[in-house]
Amino acid sequence: MNESAKINIGKVAALKKLREKVSELSDVMKELGEPILGDLALLPAIYEAYKRVFQRRGCPDEATSVRNRKKFLMVVLYLYSPKALAGDRMRMGLRKKVSELFGLTTSTPISDNCAGLIVQYHAYAGFRRDVDLIFQEVLDSLDDKLIVTD
């Protein structure tokens, strides 16, 4: 047997340290990925708040355009499925419910519209401004529905 052979205890210690880091990161990812809302029954109220933004602008038909639907999706994903904005799968049932709100017969356009939302939010000030405005309108409209009573 080779007398110079030794167990590399540093390798084991590095593995242990990495395991701890991965566990910490997993906890952080879980916390950051927690949805703000869970009740999909609130989606119609969220959609109405979204449409109000365009009604106030005097262009209610704009609420159904693909460009603006993406803004709605950004808000909905942030509220219900933030992990989807980071590349994970969308929460089960959310795509179908959003499709129904827009009167779509398939949910494929919803999936297609989700691609690149974060890039658009970062790159385009108008998109970001509208998303933030819609988000605020949604929060304001849900304020009374989200109050927890003791």
> What average pLDDT does the chain have?
88
**Beta carbons of 138 and 47 less than 8 angstroms apart:** no
Task: For residue range 111-121, list pLDDT tens digits in order.
Answer: 889 889 999 99
- Checking 111-116 for CB contacts under 8 A at 24+ apart, the result is 113/66, 113/69, 113/70, 113/73, 114/73, 114/77, 114/84, 114/90
Q: In whole angstroms, what is the distance from residue 99 CA to residue 125 CA?
A: 26
The backbone torsions φ and ψ at residue 114, rounded to the nearest 5 degrees and listed phi first, read -80, -20
pLDDT of residue 150: 34
Reported as a single tens digit per residue, the pLDDT across 38-58 is 999 999 999 999 999 989 888
If you write DSSP's letter for every residue of 12-48 in order, what string do you get? HHHHHHHHHHHHHHHHHHHHHT--S---GGGHHHHHH
Percent of the chain with pLDDT over 70: 93
Compute the distance between CA of residue 98 and CA of residue 51 in angstroms, rounded to an integer. 14
Residue 30 has a pLDDT of: 81
pLDDT at 6 over 70: yes
pLDDT at 102 over 70: yes
User: What pLDDT, on a 0 to 100 scale, did the predictor assign at position 148?
Assistant: 41
